[in-house]
Structure 1
Amino acid sequence: MTYLDENARVWELIEKIGFCMLTTQISGSLRARPMAAHAEPIENAVYFLTDVAGHKDDEIARFPNVCLAFADTKGQKYVSISGIAEIANDRERVRELWTTGARAWWHSADDPAIRVLKVTPSFAEYWDSPGTIISCIKMAAAAISNSKPDMGENAKVEL
């Protein structure tokens, strides 16, 4: 697979999975929380809606290096993204990213507490296996034959 194919696969997996664990740093510790991701491959960015009162905003202001971990456990597809995060009060982008799901947190896109969290990825690694059942069969066959199973694609990609 070529670099362009690997890069495209990273973005396809991010879009397909849709949710990730955003990991930030706080005083020497790490903290993760689930977030709904909005991928923008042309911009090399992943966007999120967040609340100005959220602790992640302060954490990102102090330590902008973050990790996004996407997981589709049923499909056995995973993506880890390392990047730099920033928070903005971009009202136009808030309206662009607004979804029905955001209503669980805010009444409307005009809520002044909503902020845009942008992550600019620098590095990604993905694991793209053929699925749980096939993976289990391959692992069982490898155990019987004392060989390593072919568990699908794994690639490290500079973004």
Structure 2
Amino acid sequence: MSFSNADTGSKTADPYVAKNKEQPELSEKVNDLINFVDKSKYCMMTTRIASSGLLVSRCMALAAKEGNGVDLIFHANSESGKTDDLESDNDINLAFLQPSGEWASISGIASLETDREKVRKYYSPGLKAWLGDLGDGKHDGGPEDPRIILIKVKAKTAQYAITRSATGALGNAIEFAKGVVTGETAQVNKLRYLDESELQQCKSTSCISQTYNHTDDFAGRSSSQ
């Protein structure tokens, strides 16, 4: 089932997609996605509220990556609303955005990881600022605090748009202005899509030039929501 509100005959109804979509080598597509995610660091994580079925998004900071850089890991407070959401429905979406208009949307399956060895591996002292020390000798925001868990997102599909212009926003603005004057669709982005089989291939046999793994400070907007 699809929606349409126009009949353009033999002409492309969505010339922006037609002009900007490209299909380079898999290694280039994945490398550019990973580099963009690293550059952005912050994303909106969308889950489904268990009690109502409505969607909700929260700002999260990337903590680390696994699966040759394709699977993403976030810190979380086990007592926050998002863990209830994911326990009920583990379908998830991550949306990254830059002020330039570049963006990435990653859909996947989330799992809640409570293994202390892995929590310690990705622990950041910045977590203390968000969880606080409850003064009971156990819930202190440290690596052994049972409230600190991980959300691992196994990417299933991804789509993203990064700028074509070497001059970034300035080049895009010029291209956009040309389009306004001439009516020619602007070619400003590299619009790409990665399906499940492509991402799985990268997880099993590395197709990227470098695997990144970092533990940046926790964004914390997730700890109490």
Match for residue 160 of structure 2 among 126, 130, 139: 126
**Bigger fraction of residues in strand:** 1
Match for residue 137 of structure 1 among 166, 174, 194: 174
Percent identity reads: 28
Q: TM-score by structure 2 length? A: 0.66
Structure 2 unaligned segments of length 5 or more: list them. 1-23, 132-140, 200-225
Matched residue of 1:47: which SS? strand
2:115 corresponds to 1:90: yes
> Which aligned pairs between 1:10-159 and structure 2 lie closer than 5 A?
10-26=33-49, 27-37=52-62, 38-42=64-68, 44-74=70-100, 76-106=101-131, 107-129=141-163, 130=165, 131-158=168-195, 159=199
Q: How many residues align?
A: 158
Matched AA of 1:15: D
Matched residue of 2:107: which SS? strand
Q: Alpha carbons of 1:126 and 1:135: their partners in 2 closer, same or farther (altered >3 Å)? A: same
Instruction: Between 2-11 and 28-37, report the one with greater CA deviation.
Output: 2-11
Contact 1:11 1:41 in 2 (8 A): no
Distance in 2 between the 1:100 and 1:141 partners? 49
Distance in 2 between the 1:99 and 1:72 partners? 25
Distance in 1 between the 2:127 and 2:92 partners? 22
Matched AA of 1:150: Q
Matched residue of 2:35: which SS? helix
Contact 2:34 2:70 in 1 (8 A): no
Larger-gyration structure (1/2) = 2
